Structure 1
Amino acid sequence: MRNIIPVILLLAVATTSCNKMLDEKIVTNVTDDFYNTPAGFQTAVNGSYVSMRNFYSTERGMTLTETGTDIITNGSDGDFKYTSQYTSQLDSRYAHVREVWNSFYQTINTCNVVVDRADKITDLDEAVKKKGIAEAKFCRAHYHFVLMEMFGAIPLRMKENTEILREAHRDSVAAIYDAVIGDLEAAATDLPVTQSEWGRATKPAAEHLLSRVYLTRASSPQAKPGDYANAAKYADMVIKNYGFKLLADVGQVWAQGKENNEETIWAAQYTTDPLYGYPDNNACRFFLMQYDVLKGMKRDLPNGTPWKRFRPTSFLLDTLYKDRVHDVRYEKFYNVLWRTNAPVDNLKNGDTAVYLPGYDVSDAVIASKPYMLVPPRLYTEKLYPSLNKFADALRPDNQASGVRPFIAMRLAEAYLIEAEALMMDGKKQEAADLVNVVRWRSARIGATPAETQANHDAMTVTAANMNIDFILDERGRELVGEQLRWFDLTRTHKLLERVKLHNEQARNNIRPTHVLRPIPQDQIDRSVNEFPQNPGY
């Protein structure tokens, strides 16, 4: 922490098109005194969000949260397969943990600038001050919480660094929880229900994050009486108090250009402005199979740039998405059909070029088709159903990074958080009722009312279904790819069990060590005192 300076990458606000959103612009050539002015205060508030872009929709964030789990494993490409496979290369030199650690602590310091200096700015409007402090506390809590989930005991930074610090110490996990909850409770009190600029923290976003934090602490050694009840309470407040609604079509939740919908609670912002775009916004690339080398296909913007980083496990496809008759989520979330965009031989533009039916077919049937037919037994690290939640056809070109926001909190998760908390408190029927709301939304609409009702009934679960493995299965079906899975498995103490059962690439290597990430080596090296590493690294 010795190299952290007081304010790094402080940003200002702009608007784009007709939809006002939080847009971060780098401010340079300013002195420290600038942040003691109303303009500097607002710049620091905006800078409190900067590390959201370092984490959400980036390769580092996705790799640390999705791959190496029971539902996502590695594709053929990328430099960080060892994270997915838990091999010996996953150590303290790992670039992603260093980047997240350094970025988060730098931005935590920016948050501290807001909180510590606000009362010293004599001409700062009181309402602006109150809201700005609340936004900074929301961001500070978010960063501390994610760091704690990844690394366990971490340095708790609640005051601005005004000089170089040569010592750093790991504070207790209990203290981190208390600080995070304190920040979020204060933020929830002072934040508005809505903001004119989309992407700023709001009261329901703070309450949603509180529900996650309480749910996580409830199953930890630091658990306190009432944690599950508080998780359920805050999730219920988000569900009932602010007019959020589950979209009728689950496939529209992530529709590009419609991310600011009735189901979205909070999203990390990106922009189409090339001057202020962020080069690491690449979730649109990570889950795609290598379609562009196949007969009749070439790379284009609608189909995306296939980086082949992450692919679904057989467990996700064959077990969690086994029901494709009544449940539409597999067909809504995954691309399995590619149409010809490079005519060749008997394939014309728009003809089927590649189809992954999701069930086995004989070699004779495969040979009879003019297109490439790929049953599950022929899936490889380059050829597999591709998650489409982050598809981004509005990039300027195939080399450009993504421009769309990343939905980090949405209403379906609030239902599943409350369901899990109630289930763990013994209220299984109430939990089932909440899970059913999420499941019924994804029940297939039939050709007749009777068919629709039959699908609805088939999607209905009961109190007898309620256990932690079912909840994890349901979260996998609904929230796949949304940077929650590794946290879900570590939170519920299921990472080792479920990876060993369901991830062929990782099962032989994963160890108890891997429920935490390694402390970055440069943090250890730059501390003059002994800074302990996590066990096993």
Structure 2
Amino acid sequence: MEMAMQKRFILVAGGALLVGVAACVDLNEDVIAGITPGSYGTQPVFEGMVNGAYSGLREFYAQERGFTVTEFGTDIYTKGSDGSHKYINDYTSQLNAGDSYFRENWDFLYRGINNANSAIDQAPRAQMDTTLRAQRVGEAKFLRALYYFDLVQMYGAVPLSLHETTAPSTVATRAPVDSVYDAITRDLLDAEAVLPATQIKDYGRATRGAAQHLLAKVYLTRPRGADSLSNETAKKAAGDFANAAVYAQKVINSGLYSLLPRFADVFDFRNERNKEVVWSIQYTADPLTTGNGNQGHLFFLMEYDAQPGMMRDIANGRPYKRFRPTTYYLNMFDRTKDSRYDAQFTRVWYANNAATIPKDANGVPKYKVGDTAIVVLASNADTLQYIGKPYLVIPPKKYTSKLFPSLNKFMDPNRSSVNETRGSRDFIVMRLAETYLIAAEALLRDGRAAEGLPYINAVRTRAAIPGQEAAMQLTLAQFTLTELLDERARELAGEMMRWFDLTRTWTLLYRGKLGNSDMKPNVQQFHMLRPIPTTQIDRTSIPFPQNPGY
């Protein structure tokens, strides 16, 4: 009986029409609690539907299920000591169609698509200023394009629906990847034409720059060949790299955005709405509107709170120990020139628990609250400088799944309590440093490396330790795809891009095996796509093929 009931519903119909209306996106709009007869066509309902299309973002971005499928199982991040889904990092047979994260991401992304479809389909009935209505449709198309872009990168050919689903259905087919990318591109071109340059009143709504940045990445990513060589040739012939460069340059040259002087300033909690942010997802401190909150502060931290002189507090975070940086990644940094290692990894903790501070033979504490309690070294050679220190010193040779340099980009000191998981800081999805790196990659792969070199060097100049700017410049001979991917790692780690970077460049196997010993024995070519969820296949009344290898 249970299976019979399940067969009545298909996952692509998971976003019922009213879901979009009841959601709140914290964009200074009133929450629409329900629909009364005859209210379709009114501006408040239409605005609520558009707002609802944003809500699905918070189910993927800055959530564990999103981080796990984008940072785990890459050359730069491997498993920490805690948490489940470690097989996604290890690429064992447990990475299969029954995994809950692949199912949940599929469901939530399609729910977001249906919410966007609902707003787009209902727009002609909305009685309101036509210019504003066109902008709202542009927002919905931007969001639909983003949801489909995430889906097609993970799953390949997927069902393509461009109209609202108003009733359950058991019929679905996988549209060709080209068709999905064509739809994404059309939506983004439409959005670019009507979206405003800025959203001063409602910060967080889609803008023209966000559409252009995403278009650049879509052109850069779109696959056109069955292997790396044929894909590169076909993409160049199709003008994908040229188009990616053009749209990245539109954002860079718009005058609306700028690289902040210091890398560390980008993630300053007090400076969320800065000039480098092209577009971010909004979270708030209001538990009624923020959903699960930005949870990035949880997953990248080591177990500092179980060490001598330490206990868990709000400032240092709640350490879930999910994601540990690989040695391969940490060795990408030249710490004599590049500020980003020290800027984004917490390596020193100060004592906050007098009760556990070690004592000498006379019972005297070896240090006081506020003194250094833990130092995580970046080099084994540095150990000599710390011989005889009273606090815990952890060189690389003593890194474990519980003790490691901790990414601090998402730290949230404004949480209400020590164990609060819901963070309120925005999650940056697009920022100008990445736009520069998109332009650099597009021009490099288009055979115009000399034109692309200044873009990667602009990012490296900003990253330089003062006085080392010249030393951070790459020469044309040094500007390779390998160096470009290293640079993306140094700049964008943890920002939910790495698995996409490696699959886009056909380097998941090579770099994964090189950098992540846990995935090395098992990763195969078919892992460049995720498995279609079993629930999707079971609930479809016509054959719905699984991705090869699963």
**Range class of TM-score, shorter chain:** over 0.9
Partner of 1:232: 245
Partner of 1:383: 403
How do residues 331-480 of structure 1 correspond to structure 2 at under 5 angstroms? 331-343=342-354, 344=357, 345-361=365-381, 368-400=388-420, 401-445=422-466, 452=467, 455-480=468-493
Question: Does residue 322 of structure 2 align to residue 309 of structure 1?
Answer: yes
Partner of 1:448: none
Q: TM-score, normalised by structure 1?
A: 0.94
Partner of 2:91: 86
Equivalent residues of 2:377, 2:383 under 8 A apart: no
Q: Deviations 1:171-224 (Å, cap 9, x if unpaired)?
A: 000000100000000000100001121110000000000000000026655746
Number of residue pairs the alignment of both structures matches: 520
Distance in structure 2 (CA, Å) of the matches to 1:403 and 1:85: 31
Distance in structure 2 (CA, Å) of the matches to 1:470 and 1:463: 11
Which letter maps to 1:205? A
- SS of corresponding position for 1:158: coil
Equivalent residues of 1:35, 1:41 under 8 A apart: yes
Q: Deviations 1:249-277 (Å, cap 9, x if unpaired)?
A: 10010111311100000001111112222
- By how many angstroms is 1:366 displaced? 5.7
Partner of 2:148: 144
Partner of 1:326: 337
Equivalent residues of 1:59, 1:280 under 8 A apart: no
Partner of 1:483: 496
Question: Does residue 19 of structure 2 align to residue 8 of structure 1?
Answer: yes
Q: TM-score, normalised by structure 2?
A: 0.91
Equivalent residues of 1:97, 1:519 under 8 A apart: yes
Q: In 2 relative to 1, CA 463–166 (structure 1 residues): closer, same or farther, beyond 3 Å?
A: same
Distance in structure 1 (CA, Å) of the matches to 2:309 and 2:103: 42
Partner of 1:75: 80
- By how many angstroms is 1:13 displaced? 5.9
Equivalent residues of 1:24, 1:276 under 8 A apart: no
Partner of 1:205: 210
Q: Deviations 1:483-508 (Å, cap 9, x if unpaired)?
A: 10000000000001111111011111
Distance in structure 1 (CA, Å) of the matches to 2:164 and 2:20: 15
Which letter maps to 1:329? R
- By how many angstroms is 1:100 displaced? 1.1
Equivalent residues of 2:24, 2:52 under 8 A apart: no
Distance in structure 1 (CA, Å) of the matches to 2:37 and 2:60: 27
Is the deviation greater in 328-337 or in 99-108? 99-108
Equivalent residues of 2:139, 2:206 under 8 A apart: yes
Distance in structure 1 (CA, Å) of the matches to 2:346 and 2:29: 33
Q: Deviations 1:498-520 (Å, cap 9, x if unpaired)?
A: 11111011111111121011111
Distance in structure 2 (CA, Å) of the matches to 1:387 and 1:32: 51
How do residues 256-335 of structure 1 correspond to structure 2 at under 5 angstroms? 256-279=269-292, 281-318=294-331, 320-321=332-333, 323-335=334-346
Q: Name structure 2 gaps, 5 residues minimum.
A: 1-9, 226-230, 358-364
- SS of corresponding position for 2:430: strand
- By how many angstroms is 1:159 displaced? 0.8
Taking only the aligned residue pairs, the percentage that are identical comes to: 44
Distance in structure 1 (CA, Å) of the matches to 2:222 and 2:37: 38
Q: In 2 relative to 1, CA 437–294 (structure 1 residues): closer, same or farther, beyond 3 Å?
A: same
Distance in structure 1 (CA, Å) of the matches to 2:87 and 2:113: 29
Equivalent residues of 1:235, 1:418 under 8 A apart: yes
Which letter maps to 2:66? G
Q: Deviations 1:11-65 (Å, cap 9, x if unpaired)?
A: 5668xxxxxx626876434357544321110000001111110111100110010
Q: In 2 relative to 1, CA 89–242 (structure 1 residues): closer, same or farther, beyond 3 Å?
A: same
Distance in structure 1 (CA, Å) of the matches to 2:47 and 2:263: 37
Is the deviation greater in 41-50 or in 393-402? 393-402
Is the deviation greater in 203-212 or in 249-258? 249-258
Is the deviation greater in 156-165 or in 37-46? 156-165
Distance in structure 2 (CA, Å) of the matches to 1:248 and 1:51: 33
- By how many angstroms is 1:362 displaced? 8.4
Equivalent residues of 1:11, 1:25 under 8 A apart: no
Distance in structure 1 (CA, Å) of the matches to 2:435 and 2:101: 28
Equivalent residues of 2:24, 2:55 under 8 A apart: no
State which of 30, 35, 41 in structure 1 corresponds to 2:35: 30
Which letter maps to 1:45? V
Q: Name structure 1 gaps, 5 residues minimum.
A: 15-20, 446-451
- By how many angstroms is 1:434 displaced? 1.0
Which letter maps to 1:139? L
Distance in structure 1 (CA, Å) of the matches to 2:67 and 2:451: 33
- SS of corresponding position for 1:463: coil
State which of 153, 159, 163 in structure 1 corresponds to 2:163: 159
Q: In 2 relative to 1, CA 26–398 (structure 1 residues): closer, same or farther, beyond 3 Å?
A: farther
- SS of corresponding position for 1:175: helix
Is the deviation greater in 79-88 or in 219-228? 219-228
Distance in structure 2 (CA, Å) of the matches to 1:402 and 1:374: 29
Q: Deviations 1:443-491 (Å, cap 9, x if unpaired)?
A: 111xxxxxx1xx1221010111122111101100111111100000000
Distance in structure 1 (CA, Å) of the matches to 2:503 and 2:204: 28
| RMSD over aligned Cα atoms | 1.8
Distance in structure 1 (CA, Å) of the matches to 2:345 and 2:480: 27
Partner of 2:4: none
- SS of corresponding position for 1:79: coil
Partner of 1:17: none
Distance in structure 1 (CA, Å) of the matches to 2:262 and 2:38: 51
- By how many angstroms is 1:365 displaced? 6.5
Which letter maps to 1:183? D
Distance in structure 2 (CA, Å) of the matches to 1:35 and 1:165: 24
Distance in structure 1 (CA, Å) of the matches to 2:524 and 2:411: 34
- By how many angstroms is 1:9 displaced? 4.5
Distance in structure 1 (CA, Å) of the matches to 2:508 and 2:223: 17
Q: In 2 relative to 1, CA 33–513 (structure 1 residues): closer, same or farther, beyond 3 Å?
A: farther
Question: Does residue 209 of structure 2 align to residue 188 of structure 1?
Answer: no
Partner of 1:106: 111
- By how many angstroms is 1:431 displaced? 1.4
Question: Does residue 53 of structure 2 align to residue 48 of structure 1?
Answer: yes
Equivalent residues of 2:40, 2:125 under 8 A apart: no
Partner of 1:494: 507
Is the deviation greater in 428-437 or in 262-271? 428-437
Q: In 2 relative to 1, CA 46–385 (structure 1 residues): closer, same or farther, beyond 3 Å?
A: same
Q: Deviations 1:137-165 (Å, cap 9, x if unpaired)?
A: 00000000100000000001101112222
Q: In 2 relative to 1, CA 130–432 (structure 1 residues): closer, same or farther, beyond 3 Å?
A: same
State which of 131, 137, 155 in structure 1 corresponds to 2:135: 131
